């Protein structure tokens, strides 16, 4: 399953918005088609399974991830066992009536994995209305039979997995899958961290040792994918357990997962959780990197060093080429690792608090961080500290009036910081 289109109306900052998503099955324009001849087709990007949402704080990036997740649950989103709670979804404003409703209209491309013929489409409309102090969900599905697999847990159909910005991994000795399944079915668990800051991810030690015993072939696939997702130049997964914790090795030193840095724990945590859900329900004999589905990740650059930010999305996308990814980020390094076809921009009008959605209309792939930050994508006028910028402006004004000393000082200031060097 891939999401192809999403239409929002009266959803928080989105008074009305239409989005088209990149996915591996999309019909792209022929190679070398001139940009002015593209019409509605995009050129095929190097990473045809990646969408990146870029926008200011409060522009609605997380709201979009949640909207995709809710829509992908189909009619099961209205079930209490889905556990979806997203208060304030209906847009509020003086120009809207009290009984205004939010609408999320979606279309998904399906595959045999989704118990549907290749090329089939699942369409749905989610309507959210206010009722007292609460909001009610109503799913209007013209093709109800197509959505039937979403009511079953043990299958790999309609796979959607989401990770919020506060993602964390539960300690293995505290993890209790039984208590989770009492309140939320597995499809709801897969996206719960997008809605709940305290919802923890499934630790590798909960399921991987058992998989090693029960299905060595599948276990080998998981280990291979985990190493590919982490990528070269980082800690290596050793497959060794010590006191109930997996060890990771770098430079001959082995470190338990719990002792890794925040960046490594956060990253390995969510990719390990993803691999669990990819495995869950997948038929025997199927290669894990051939499965399709939707993966939503908020703040993909969270805790990552700039060097890792530049490579993280290409590494993930190539390891799981049939997964459709929708990421959010504020990092110019992440943005610069992609092409304009992969990037969806969100711009909010502060006066009306309305967000306008569009696809990036200029190439930034390969530009350096300063070039991207100073482009209209991020809209900065300078990447220098404010005090330094003010100082340079004053010196520039003096130099223009004929002050040779000020002109010389500009050259000196451009090569050093404000403070004295140690």
In terms of domains, do 358 and 421 share one?
A: no
Average pLDDT of the residues of the chain: 91
In terms of domains, do 378 and 419 share one?
A: no
Give the model confidence (pLDDT) of 176-198 as tens digits: 776 777 778 999 999 999 999 88
Q: Please compute the mean of the pLDDT values over residues 139-156 and round it to a whole number.
A: 87
Asked, for residue 133, whether it belongs to a domain, the answer is yes
Q: Judge whether residue 147 has pLDDT over 60.
A: yes
Q: Judge whether residue 154 has pLDDT over 90.
A: no
Q: Judge whether residue 205 has pLDDT over 70.
A: yes
In terms of domains, do 15 and 71 share one?
A: yes
3-state helix/strand/coil string of 12-74: CCEEEEEEECCCCCCCCCCCCCCHHHCCCCCCCCCCCCEEEEEECCCCCHHHHHHHHHHHHCH
Q: Pairing mode, if any, of strands 253-256 and 245-250?
A: antiparallel
In terms of domains, do 407 and 349 share one?
A: no
- Position 389 scores a pLDDT of 81
Q: What is the CATH number of the domain that holds 157?
A: 3.40.50
Give the model confidence (pLDDT) of 300-332 as tens digits: 999 999 999 999 999 999 999 999 999 999 999
Q: Judge whether residue 285 has pLDDT over 90.
A: no
Give the model confidence (pLDDT) of 261-281 as tens digits: 999 999 999 999 999 999 987
What confidence tier does 173 reach under pLDDT thresholds 50, 70, 90? confident
Span of 115-119, 125-129, 153-157, 239-243 with lowest mean pLDDT: 153-157
In terms of domains, do 361 and 414 share one?
A: no
Evaluate whether 106 touches 3 at the Cβ level (below 8 Å): yes
H-type helices in 107-246, by residue range? 177-183, 186-191, 204-214, 216-230
In terms of domains, do 371 and 404 share one?
A: no
The count of domains in the chain is: 2
The vertex-16 CA angle with 10 and 22, nearest 5°, equals 120
- Position 252 scores a pLDDT of 95
Asked, for residue 61, whether it belongs to a domain, the answer is yes
- Position 419 scores a pLDDT of 56
In terms of domains, do 122 and 64 share one?
A: yes
In terms of domains, do 409 and 360 share one?
A: no
Asked, for residue 240, whether it belongs to a domain, the answer is no
Give the model confidence (pLDDT) of 53-100 as tens digits: 999 999 999 999 999 999 999 999 999 889 888 888 999 877 788 889
In terms of domains, do 179 and 56 share one?
A: yes
What confidence tier does 39 reach under pLDDT thresholds 50, 70, 90? low
Asked, for residue 278, whether it belongs to a domain, the answer is no
Asked, for residue 209, whether it belongs to a domain, the answer is no
Asked, for residue 267, whether it belongs to a domain, the answer is no
- Position 361 scores a pLDDT of 83
Burial (0-12, 13-18, 19+ Cβ within 10 Å), 69: buried
Evaluate whether 150 touches 49 at the Cβ level (below 8 Å): no
Q: Judge whether residue 282 has pLDDT over 90.
A: no
Asked, for residue 366, whether it belongs to a domain, the answer is yes
In terms of domains, do 400 and 336 share one?
A: no
Residue 402, domain extent: 387-422
Percent of the chain with pLDDT over 70: 96
Which residues does residue 409 pair with via DSSP β-bridges, in sequence order?
none
Read off the DSSP letter of residue 348: E
- Position 373 scores a pLDDT of 87
In terms of domains, do 194 and 108 share one?
A: yes
C-alpha distance from residue 279 to each of 154, 202, 405 (Å)? 11, 13, 68
- Position 233 scores a pLDDT of 92
**Which residue in 173, 191, 174 sits closest to 70, CA to CA?**
191
Q: Which residue has the higher pLDDT, 162 or 398?
A: 162
3-state secondary structure of 321: coil
In terms of domains, do 110 and 182 share one?
A: yes
Rank 36-50, 164-178, 294-308, 376-390 by mean pLDDT and report only the highest.
294-308
Asked, for residue 349, whether it belongs to a domain, the answer is yes
């Amino acid at each position: 399953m891939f999401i192809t289109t999403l239409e929002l109306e009266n959803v928080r900052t989105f008074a009305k918005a239409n989005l088209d998503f990149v996915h591996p099955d999309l019909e792209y324009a022929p190679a070398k088609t001139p940009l002015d001849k593209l019409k509605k087709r995009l050129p095929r990007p190097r990473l045809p399974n990646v969408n990146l949402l870029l926008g200011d704080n409060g522009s609605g990036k997380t709201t979009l991830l949640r909207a995709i997740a809710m829509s992908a649950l189909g009619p099961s989103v209205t079930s209490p066992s889905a556990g979806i709670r997203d208060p304030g979804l209906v847009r509020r404003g003086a120009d809207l009536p009290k009984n205004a409703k939010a609408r999320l209209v979606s279309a998904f491309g399906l595959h045999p994995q989704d118990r549907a013929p290749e090329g089939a489409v699942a369409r749905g409309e989610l309507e959210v209305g206010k009722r007292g102090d609460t909001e009610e969900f109503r799913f209007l599905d013209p093709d109800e039979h197509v959505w039937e697999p979403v009511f079953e847990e043990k299958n790999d159909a309609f796979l959607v997995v989401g990770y919020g910005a506060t993602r964390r991994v539960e300690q293995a000795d505290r993890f209790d899958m039984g208590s989770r399944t009492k309140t939320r079915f597995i499809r709801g668990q897969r996206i719960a961290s997008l809605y709940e800051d305290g919802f923890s991810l499934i630790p590798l030690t909960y399921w991987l040792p058992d998989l090693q015993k029960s299905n060595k072939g599948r276990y080998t696939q998981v280990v291979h994918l985990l190493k590919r997702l982490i990528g070269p130049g980082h800690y290596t997964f050793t497959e060794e357990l010590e006191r109930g914790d997996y060890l990771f090795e770098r430079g001959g030193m082995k470190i338990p997962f719990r002792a890794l840095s925040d960046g490594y724990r956060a990253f390995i945590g969510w990719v390990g959780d993803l691999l669990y859900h990819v495995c869950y329900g997948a038929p025997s004999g199927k290669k894990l990197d051939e499965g399709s589905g939707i993966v939503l990740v908020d703040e993909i650059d969270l805790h990552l060093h700039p060097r890792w930010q530049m490579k993280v999305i290409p590494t993930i996308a190539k390891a799981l080429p049939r997964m459709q990814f929708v990421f959010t980020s504020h990092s110019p390094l992440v943005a610069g690792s992609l092409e304009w076809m992969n990037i969806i921009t969100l711009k909010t009008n502060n006066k009306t608090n309305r967000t306008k959605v569009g696809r990036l209309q200029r190439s930034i792939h390969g530009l350096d961080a300063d070039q991207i930050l100073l482009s209209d994508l991020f809209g900065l006028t300078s990447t220098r500290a404010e005090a330094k910028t003010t100082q340079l402006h004053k010196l520039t004004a003096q130099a223009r009036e004929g002050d040779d000393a000020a002109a010389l000082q500009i050259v000196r200031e451009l090569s050093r910081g404000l403070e004295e060097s140690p």
